């Protein structure tokens, strides 16, 4: 059986058993127990944190008939469990998951690995003063309309067997814990989904967890820019100009194009680690959903090599990427501003995902860069049959798989 069929088959069993109130499930052996385990654990996920009857619900426990496949089963469990962490963070409402609370939740998850000899883990929590010292004025402009203070969370992972000649792989995640659109306010229908606008940061944190739990030998740095985008007397306004960390001035033409402002400063900061590659993940544009629906994450890659690695990773996990273009025409559209060096919203409204990527490219110096626009896969609405509907946590498993392949292949 192919991997994706295996996930699907096992998830259907879990769904059927859920209604029969069976809690102890004996699992027979198939040739891909890792995929089987992913199917089971992704299907069994249920977000009921705030429901009063949650303790009454039975928890499924899986037991293997053939213990020789335990390692593969466990690997699949870790992949699914990390994606489930991203799903939980994305589902958590914005009053429960502010930037500060996001940091707290993630730090708690990583706490148990602090003294793990198999990995060197460093955590840095950067506050508003630090962000100001760093001149991260684009990120701060987004945050200034909210009473919730912004944060930058850094996770540095270094495996003792990591090849020191390979520079770290840096992940950047967009963490807008709620996006009202700011002064360019969004329509109220479905605005509640914007609690998931920190999906990039959630996937990046979940990827770091997977890398640690699966003992991937490499050096990885995860940078998560965390803000809330609100309209208020302090909020930034359309037409405002800010000087980003890189020195480029930005015209904020649309305060709802805030993700790229956050990423601009964090991507610029990522260069300080002299990375071998930079990957950012962001629920960046509604246009990506129009283009790809829930089938793929849109991947804008500076090199064929990087895209090829992402494509292969997606083929393994079933959570796939589709290549999108980086082009001079889009760069020109981004630079067409009367007030500043670049604008966060172009005059032409077509190709919204491509101009967003072009905007980000102005702040990237690393030759190997991939921007993953995950807006298309943020919410599962029957796209992935082996997961219940809701926030998806995609493409966490693809990013973990990417890390597994990256360090041997980049040499």
All residues at 6 or more sequence positions from 279 whose CB lies less than 8 Å from its CB, including other chains: 169, 170, 171, 172, 369, 370, 371, 372, 399, 402
CA distance 211 to 34: 16
Q: Which is nearer to Zn ion, 251 or 258 (CB)?
A: 258
The yes or no reply on residue 179 touching Zn ion (CB under 5 A) is yes
Q: How far is CA 217 from CA 18, 123, 173, 296, in A?
A: 38, 19, 22, 28
Stretch that binds Zn ion, among 98-106, 114-122, 256-264, 283-291 (CB under 5 A): 256-264
Q: Which is nearer to Zn ion, 205 or 252 (CB)?
A: 252
Nearest to 142 by CA among 224, 230, 202, 232: 230
Stretch that binds Zn ion, among 146-154, 204-212, 257-265, 361-369 (CB under 5 A): 257-265
Sign of torsion, CA 194 316 290 332? positive
For residue 178, the minimal CB distance to Zn ion (Å) is 10
Nearest to 374 by CA among 307, 297, 310, 315: 297
- Please tell me whether the peptide bond between 381 and the residue prior to it is cis, using omega within 30 degrees of 0: no
For residue 87, the minimal CB distance to Zn ion (Å) is 21
Label residues 283-321 b or e (16+ Cβ within 10 Å = b): bbbebbbebbebebbbbbbbeeebbebbbebbebbbbbb
Binding-site member from 81, 91, 253, 256 for Zn ion (CB under 5 A)? 256
For residue 231, the minimal CB distance to Zn ion (Å) is 12
Q: Which is nearer to Zn ion, 256 or 265 (CB)?
A: 256
Q: Which is nearer to Zn ion, 253 or 258 (CB)?
A: 258
Q: Which is nearer to Zn ion, 36 or 372 (CB)?
A: 372
For residue 258, the minimal CB distance to Zn ion (Å) is 5
For residue 27, the minimal CB distance to Zn ion (Å) is 43
Query: Whole-angstrom distance between the N-terminal and C-terminal Cα of the chain?
Result: 33
Which position's Cβ is nearest Zn ion? 256
Stretch that binds Zn ion, among 59-67, 158-166, 172-180, 230-238 (CB under 5 A): 172-180
CB of 117 closer than 8 Å to CB of 212: no
CA distance 4 to 320: 11
For residue 285, the minimal CB distance to Zn ion (Å) is 9
Nearest to 289 by CA among 378, 405, 182: 378
Q: Which is nearer to Zn ion, 91 or 179 (CB)?
A: 179
The yes or no reply on residue 253 touching Zn ion (CB under 5 A) is no
CB neighbourhood size of 151 (10 A): 25
The yes or no reply on residue 228 touching Zn ion (CB under 5 A) is no
**Which residues does the annotation mark as catalytic?**
186, 260
Binding residues vs Zn ion (CB under 5 A): 179, 256, 258
């Amino acid at each position: 059986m192919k991997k994706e069929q295996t996930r699907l088959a096992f998830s259907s069993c879990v769904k059927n058993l859920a209604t029969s109130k069976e809690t102890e499930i004996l699992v027979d052996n198939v040739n891909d127990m890792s995929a089987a385990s992913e199917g089971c654990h992704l299907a069994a996920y249920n977000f009921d944190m705030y429901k009063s009857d949650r303790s009454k619900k039975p928890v499924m426990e899986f037991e293997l008939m053939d213990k020789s496949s335990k390692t593969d089963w466990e690997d699949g469990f870790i992949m699914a469990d990390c994606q489930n962490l991203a799903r939980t963070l994305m589902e958590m409402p914005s009053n429960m998951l502010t930037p500060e609370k996001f940091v707290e939740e993630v730090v708690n998850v990583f706490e148990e690995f602090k003294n793990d000899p198999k990995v060197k883990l460093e955590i840095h929590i950067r506050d508003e003063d630090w962000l100001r010292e760093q001149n991260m004025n684009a990120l701060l402009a987004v945050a200034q309309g909210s009473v919730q203070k912004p944060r930058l969370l850094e996770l540095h992972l270094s495996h003792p067997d990591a090849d020191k000649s390979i520079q770290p792989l840096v992940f950047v995640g967009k963490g807008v814990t709620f996006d009202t659109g700011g002064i360019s306010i969004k329509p109220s229908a479905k605005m509640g989904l914007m609690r998931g606008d920190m999906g990039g940061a959630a996937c990046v944190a979940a990827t770091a967890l997977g890398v640690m739990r699966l003992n991937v030998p490499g050096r990885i740095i995860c940078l998560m820019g965390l803000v809330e985008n609100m309209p208020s007397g302090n909020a930034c306004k359309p037409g405002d100009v800010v000087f980003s960390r890189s020195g480029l001035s930005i015209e904020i033409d649309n305060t709802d194009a805030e993700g790229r402002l956050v990423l601009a400063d964090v991507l610029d900061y990522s260069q300080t680690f002299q990375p071998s590659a930079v990957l950012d993940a962001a629920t960046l544009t509604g246009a990506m959903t129009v283009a790809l629906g829930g089938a793929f994450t849109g991947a804008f890659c500076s090199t064929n090599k990087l895209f090829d690695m992402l494509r292969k990773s997606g083929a393994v996990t079933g959570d796939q990427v589709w290549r999108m273009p980086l082009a001079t025409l889009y760069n020109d559209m981004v630079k067409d501003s009367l007030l500043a060096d670049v604008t966060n919203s172009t005059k032409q409204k077509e190709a919204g995902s491509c101009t967003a990527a072009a905007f980000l490219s102005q702040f990237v110096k690393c030759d190997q860069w991939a921007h993953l626009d995950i807006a298309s896969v943020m919410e599962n609405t029957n796209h992935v049959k082996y997961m219940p509907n809701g926030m998806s946590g995609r493409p966490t498993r693809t990013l973990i798989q990417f890390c597994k392949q990256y360090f041997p292949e980049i040499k």
